[in-house]
Amino acid sequence: MTDLRIAIVGFGKIARDQHVGAIAATAGAALAAVASRNASLSNLPHFATIEELLHKGPPIDAVSLCTPPQVRRAQAAAALAAGKHVMLEKPPGTGVAELDPLIAMAADAKRTLFATWHSRYAPAVEPAREWLATRRIRSVHINWKEDVRVWHPGQAWIWEPGGLGVFDPGINALSILTRILPKSVFVTAAELAFPANRQAPIAANLTLTDIGDTPITAEFDFRQTGPQSWDIVVETDQGRMSLSRGGRVMAVDGKIISEAPDEEYRELYRRFVVLAATGASDVDLAPLRLVADSFLLGERTIVEPFMD
Protein backbone atom coordinates (compact mmCIF):
# COMPACT_ATOMS: atom_id res chain seq x y z
CA MET A 1 0.00 0.00 0.00
CA THR A 2 1.35 3.44 -0.93
CA ASP A 3 1.63 6.19 1.66
CA LEU A 4 -1.12 8.77 2.08
CA ARG A 5 0.53 11.89 0.67
CA ILE A 6 -0.46 14.80 2.92
CA ALA A 7 -0.02 18.55 2.52
CA ILE A 8 -0.20 20.78 5.60
CA VAL A 9 -2.12 24.00 4.97
CA GLY A 10 -1.29 26.70 7.51
CA PHE A 11 2.17 26.34 9.01
CA GLY A 12 2.00 27.98 12.43
CA LYS A 13 3.08 26.82 15.86
CA ILE A 14 0.78 23.80 16.15
CA ALA A 15 1.73 22.53 12.68
CA ARG A 16 5.44 22.83 13.42
CA ASP A 17 5.27 21.48 16.97
CA GLN A 18 2.82 18.63 16.44
CA HIS A 19 1.76 17.79 12.90
CA VAL A 20 5.16 17.48 11.20
CA GLY A 21 6.53 15.00 13.73
CA ALA A 22 3.27 13.07 13.95
CA ILE A 23 3.14 12.52 10.18
CA ALA A 24 6.78 11.40 10.16
CA ALA A 25 6.02 8.86 12.91
CA THR A 26 2.88 7.45 11.26
CA ALA A 27 3.15 4.35 9.09
CA GLY A 28 1.31 4.88 5.82
CA ALA A 29 1.57 8.69 5.90
CA ALA A 30 4.03 11.06 4.24
CA LEU A 31 4.33 14.84 4.28
CA ALA A 32 4.39 15.99 0.64
CA ALA A 33 4.02 19.79 0.71
CA VAL A 34 3.25 22.88 2.76
CA ALA A 35 0.93 25.75 1.92
CA SER A 36 1.38 28.89 4.02
CA ARG A 37 1.76 32.59 3.37
CA ASN A 38 4.33 33.08 6.10
CA ALA A 39 6.31 29.88 6.64
CA SER A 40 7.83 26.90 4.85
CA LEU A 41 9.74 23.70 5.59
CA SER A 42 13.09 22.98 4.02
CA ASN A 43 13.24 20.26 1.36
CA LEU A 44 9.47 20.35 0.79
CA PRO A 45 7.48 22.05 -1.98
CA HIS A 46 5.96 25.28 -0.68
CA PHE A 47 2.94 27.26 -1.88
CA ALA A 48 1.36 30.46 -0.62
CA THR A 49 -2.27 29.28 -0.73
CA ILE A 50 -4.28 26.10 -0.93
CA GLU A 51 -5.45 27.14 -4.39
CA GLU A 52 -1.86 27.33 -5.60
CA LEU A 53 -1.12 23.99 -3.94
CA LEU A 54 -4.07 22.27 -5.64
CA HIS A 55 -3.31 23.71 -9.08
CA LYS A 56 0.48 23.72 -9.17
CA GLY A 57 1.60 21.39 -6.40
CA PRO A 58 2.91 17.83 -6.46
CA PRO A 59 0.52 14.86 -6.39
CA ILE A 60 -1.18 14.66 -2.99
CA ASP A 61 -3.99 12.59 -1.54
CA ALA A 62 -4.98 14.69 1.47
CA VAL A 63 -4.70 18.03 3.20
CA SER A 64 -4.40 18.76 6.89
CA LEU A 65 -5.92 22.17 7.58
CA CYS A 66 -4.05 23.94 10.40
CA THR A 67 -5.20 27.44 9.46
CA PRO A 68 -7.37 29.60 11.76
CA PRO A 69 -10.95 28.29 11.86
CA GLN A 70 -12.36 31.38 10.14
CA VAL A 71 -11.01 30.20 6.76
CA ARG A 72 -11.24 26.41 7.05
CA ARG A 73 -14.67 25.92 5.50
CA ALA A 74 -13.67 27.41 2.14
CA GLN A 75 -10.34 25.57 2.18
CA ALA A 76 -11.99 22.24 3.00
CA ALA A 77 -14.54 22.74 0.23
CA ALA A 78 -11.76 23.46 -2.28
CA ALA A 79 -9.83 20.37 -1.24
CA LEU A 80 -12.87 18.08 -1.37
CA ALA A 81 -13.82 19.47 -4.78
CA ALA A 82 -10.32 18.55 -5.94
CA GLY A 83 -10.79 14.97 -4.72
CA LYS A 84 -8.63 15.21 -1.59
CA HIS A 85 -9.23 13.76 1.87
CA VAL A 86 -9.43 16.48 4.54
CA MET A 87 -8.30 16.64 8.15
CA LEU A 88 -9.59 19.62 10.15
CA GLU A 89 -7.68 20.86 13.17
CA LYS A 90 -9.93 21.73 16.08
CA PRO A 91 -12.26 23.53 16.17
CA PRO A 92 -13.52 22.26 12.79
CA GLY A 93 -15.06 25.64 11.91
CA THR A 94 -16.51 28.87 13.21
CA GLY A 95 -20.07 27.54 13.33
CA VAL A 96 -21.99 24.29 13.46
CA ALA A 97 -24.12 24.63 10.32
CA GLU A 98 -21.16 25.28 8.01
CA LEU A 99 -19.96 21.70 8.51
CA ASP A 100 -23.12 20.11 7.03
CA PRO A 101 -22.30 20.97 3.38
CA LEU A 102 -18.76 19.66 3.87
CA ILE A 103 -20.06 16.37 5.26
CA ALA A 104 -22.33 16.05 2.23
CA MET A 105 -19.48 16.91 -0.18
CA ALA A 106 -17.22 14.29 1.39
CA ALA A 107 -19.93 11.62 1.16
CA ASP A 108 -20.68 12.44 -2.48
CA ALA A 109 -16.99 12.37 -3.40
CA LYS A 110 -16.29 9.26 -1.30
CA ARG A 111 -13.57 11.18 0.46
CA THR A 112 -12.71 11.43 4.14
CA LEU A 113 -13.62 14.43 6.27
CA PHE A 114 -12.00 14.07 9.69
CA ALA A 115 -12.90 16.67 12.33
CA THR A 116 -10.21 16.08 14.91
CA TRP A 117 -10.35 16.42 18.68
CA HIS A 118 -6.76 15.72 19.67
CA SER A 119 -7.42 15.71 23.42
CA ARG A 120 -9.70 12.68 23.02
CA TYR A 121 -6.60 10.76 22.01
CA ALA A 122 -4.76 11.52 25.25
CA PRO A 123 -3.73 8.16 26.72
CA ALA A 124 -5.92 8.18 29.85
CA VAL A 125 -9.17 9.22 28.15
CA GLU A 126 -10.29 5.74 27.06
CA PRO A 127 -9.45 4.13 30.42
CA ALA A 128 -11.50 6.88 32.08
CA ARG A 129 -14.46 6.29 29.75
CA GLU A 130 -14.38 2.56 30.45
CA TRP A 131 -14.13 3.10 34.22
CA LEU A 132 -17.05 5.54 34.30
CA ALA A 133 -19.28 3.27 32.22
CA THR A 134 -19.97 1.04 35.24
CA ARG A 135 -20.27 3.79 37.90
CA ARG A 136 -23.02 6.18 38.90
CA ILE A 137 -21.80 9.71 38.28
CA ARG A 138 -22.68 12.24 40.95
CA SER A 139 -20.94 15.37 39.64
CA VAL A 140 -18.27 16.61 37.25
CA HIS A 141 -16.00 19.64 37.46
CA ILE A 142 -13.60 20.91 34.79
CA ASN A 143 -10.72 23.24 35.64
CA TRP A 144 -9.01 24.26 32.38
CA LYS A 145 -6.79 27.30 32.77
CA GLU A 146 -3.72 28.30 30.80
CA ASP A 147 -1.61 31.30 29.82
CA VAL A 148 -2.62 32.56 26.38
CA ARG A 149 0.72 34.36 26.01
CA VAL A 150 2.52 31.02 26.24
CA TRP A 151 0.25 28.93 24.03
CA HIS A 152 -0.96 31.51 21.49
CA PRO A 153 1.70 34.22 21.34
CA GLY A 154 0.81 36.98 18.90
CA GLN A 155 -2.09 35.04 17.40
CA ALA A 156 -4.59 37.84 16.85
CA TRP A 157 -7.10 35.55 15.09
CA ILE A 158 -8.00 33.87 18.36
CA TRP A 159 -9.56 37.14 19.59
CA GLU A 160 -11.59 37.78 16.44
CA PRO A 161 -15.17 36.54 15.84
CA GLY A 162 -14.94 32.82 15.21
CA GLY A 163 -11.58 32.55 16.96
CA LEU A 164 -13.29 31.29 20.16
CA GLY A 165 -10.96 33.00 22.64
CA VAL A 166 -10.68 30.86 25.78
CA PHE A 167 -12.90 28.24 24.17
CA ASP A 168 -10.01 27.33 21.87
CA PRO A 169 -8.43 25.37 24.75
CA GLY A 170 -11.77 24.95 26.54
CA ILE A 171 -13.17 22.93 23.65
CA ASN A 172 -10.42 20.38 24.33
CA ALA A 173 -11.93 19.78 27.76
CA LEU A 174 -15.42 19.57 26.26
CA SER A 175 -14.20 17.04 23.71
CA ILE A 176 -12.97 14.82 26.55
CA LEU A 177 -16.16 15.36 28.54
CA THR A 178 -18.41 14.31 25.66
CA ARG A 179 -16.25 11.23 25.12
CA ILE A 180 -16.01 9.90 28.67
CA LEU A 181 -19.56 10.49 29.92
CA PRO A 182 -22.15 7.84 29.05
CA LYS A 183 -24.96 10.37 28.45
CA SER A 184 -25.15 13.43 26.21
CA VAL A 185 -24.66 16.75 27.99
CA PHE A 186 -25.99 20.24 27.33
CA VAL A 187 -25.36 23.77 28.58
CA THR A 188 -27.87 25.41 30.94
CA ALA A 189 -26.00 28.63 31.80
CA ALA A 190 -22.76 30.43 31.00
CA GLU A 191 -20.80 33.46 32.19
CA LEU A 192 -18.45 34.92 29.59
CA ALA A 193 -15.77 37.54 30.33
CA PHE A 194 -14.79 39.67 27.32
CA PRO A 195 -11.75 41.98 27.40
CA ALA A 196 -12.83 45.53 26.57
CA ASN A 197 -10.67 45.50 23.42
CA ARG A 198 -11.42 41.99 22.14
CA GLN A 199 -14.23 40.16 20.33
CA ALA A 200 -13.82 36.77 22.08
CA PRO A 201 -13.93 35.78 25.75
CA ILE A 202 -10.83 35.48 27.92
CA ALA A 203 -12.64 33.45 30.60
CA ALA A 204 -15.84 31.45 30.94
CA ASN A 205 -17.80 29.57 33.61
CA LEU A 206 -20.28 26.98 32.35
CA THR A 207 -23.09 25.07 33.98
CA LEU A 208 -24.08 21.87 32.19
CA THR A 209 -26.09 18.75 32.85
CA ASP A 210 -27.44 15.61 31.19
CA ILE A 211 -30.88 14.00 30.94
CA GLY A 212 -30.41 12.71 34.48
CA ASP A 213 -29.67 16.19 35.88
CA THR A 214 -26.06 15.38 36.74
CA PRO A 215 -24.39 18.61 37.94
CA ILE A 216 -21.49 19.56 35.66
CA THR A 217 -19.44 22.74 35.91
CA ALA A 218 -16.49 24.08 33.94
CA GLU A 219 -14.05 26.94 34.54
CA PHE A 220 -11.97 28.19 31.62
CA ASP A 221 -9.42 31.02 31.90
CA PHE A 222 -6.74 32.32 29.54
CA ARG A 223 -5.07 34.41 32.27
CA GLN A 224 -3.42 31.59 34.21
CA THR A 225 0.23 32.11 35.07
CA GLY A 226 2.60 29.64 36.69
CA PRO A 227 1.39 26.02 36.69
CA GLN A 228 -1.21 25.34 34.01
CA SER A 229 -4.44 23.47 34.83
CA TRP A 230 -6.03 20.89 32.53
CA ASP A 231 -8.08 18.81 34.94
CA ILE A 232 -11.43 17.00 35.07
CA VAL A 233 -12.75 15.56 38.34
CA VAL A 234 -15.69 13.14 38.42
CA GLU A 235 -17.36 12.18 41.69
CA THR A 236 -18.97 8.73 41.52
CA ASP A 237 -20.59 6.19 43.83
CA GLN A 238 -17.28 4.29 43.80
CA GLY A 239 -14.80 7.09 44.34
CA ARG A 240 -13.35 10.20 42.77
CA MET A 241 -11.88 9.81 39.30
CA SER A 242 -9.58 12.53 38.02
CA LEU A 243 -8.02 13.22 34.65
CA SER A 244 -5.05 15.57 34.79
CA ARG A 245 -2.42 16.98 32.44
CA GLY A 246 -5.00 17.25 29.69
CA GLY A 247 -6.01 13.59 29.84
CA ARG A 248 -2.60 12.00 30.19
CA VAL A 249 -3.04 10.83 33.79
CA MET A 250 -6.05 9.06 35.32
CA ALA A 251 -6.34 8.54 39.08
CA VAL A 252 -9.00 7.12 41.39
CA ASP A 253 -9.04 8.51 44.93
CA GLY A 254 -5.52 9.81 44.34
CA LYS A 255 -4.06 6.52 43.08
CA ILE A 256 -2.74 6.65 39.52
CA ILE A 257 -4.47 4.08 37.34
CA SER A 258 -3.26 5.10 33.90
CA GLU A 259 -0.36 7.27 32.74
CA ALA A 260 1.44 7.31 29.40
CA PRO A 261 3.43 9.65 27.14
CA ASP A 262 1.61 12.06 24.85
CA GLU A 263 0.96 10.63 21.38
CA GLU A 264 -2.27 12.49 20.62
CA TYR A 265 -1.31 13.73 17.17
CA ARG A 266 0.25 10.44 16.14
CA GLU A 267 -3.05 8.78 17.01
CA LEU A 268 -4.90 11.38 14.91
CA TYR A 269 -2.84 10.56 11.85
CA ARG A 270 -3.13 6.82 12.40
CA ARG A 271 -6.89 7.33 12.44
CA PHE A 272 -6.73 9.54 9.32
CA VAL A 273 -4.82 6.88 7.39
CA VAL A 274 -7.40 4.23 8.32
CA LEU A 275 -10.34 6.48 7.39
CA ALA A 276 -8.81 7.54 4.07
CA ALA A 277 -8.26 3.92 3.04
CA THR A 278 -12.04 3.55 2.60
CA GLY A 279 -13.14 7.19 2.24
CA ALA A 280 -15.03 7.06 5.55
CA SER A 281 -15.60 10.25 7.55
CA ASP A 282 -15.49 11.03 11.27
CA VAL A 283 -17.20 14.31 12.19
CA ASP A 284 -18.46 14.62 15.78
CA LEU A 285 -19.79 18.12 16.39
CA ALA A 286 -20.84 17.66 20.04
CA PRO A 287 -18.00 19.79 21.51
CA LEU A 288 -18.62 22.60 19.01
CA ARG A 289 -22.35 22.56 19.79
CA LEU A 290 -21.59 23.07 23.48
CA VAL A 291 -19.44 26.10 22.66
CA ALA A 292 -22.12 27.51 20.35
CA ASP A 293 -24.76 27.07 23.08
CA SER A 294 -22.46 28.78 25.58
CA PHE A 295 -22.41 31.85 23.36
CA LEU A 296 -26.20 31.66 22.92
CA LEU A 297 -26.87 31.39 26.65
CA GLY A 298 -23.90 33.34 27.94
CA GLU A 299 -24.24 36.30 30.27
CA ARG A 300 -21.49 38.69 29.17
CA THR A 301 -19.32 40.92 31.29
CA ILE A 302 -16.58 43.31 30.16
CA VAL A 303 -13.21 43.02 31.87
CA GLU A 304 -9.89 44.82 31.58
CA PRO A 305 -8.34 45.06 28.09
CA PHE A 306 -5.95 42.32 27.05
CA MET A 307 -2.56 43.37 25.68
CA ASP A 308 -0.46 40.65 24.05
The Cα–Cα gap between 176 and 167 comes to 14
Give the type of residue at 104.
A
- Average confidence (pLDDT) over 13-18: 92
4-115: what fold?
Answer: Rossmann fold (3.40.50)
Amino acid 262: pLDDT: 87
| Domain residue extents for the chain | 4-115, 120-261+292-303
Asked whether 173 and 192 are in contact (CB, 8 A), the reply is: no
Q: Is the pTM of this model over 0.85?
A: yes
Residues labelled catalytic: 90
Residue 2: pLDDT band with limits 50, 70, 90: confident
pLDDT tens for 167-224 read 999 999 999 999 999 999 999 999 999 999 999 999 999 999 999 999 999 999 999 9
Asked whether 53 and 47 are in contact (CB, 8 A), the reply is: yes
Residue 308: pLDDT band with limits 50, 70, 90: confident
Asked whether 62 and 84 are in contact (CB, 8 A), the reply is: yes
Contacts of 118 (CB under 8 A, 6+ apart): 18, 90, 172, 264, 265, 268
120-261+292-303: what fold?
Answer: Dihydrodipicolinate Reductase; domain 2 (3.30.360)
Gyration radius (Cα) of the chain, Å: 19
Amino acid 1: pLDDT: 62
Contacts of 18 (CB under 8 A, 6+ apart): 118, 264, 265
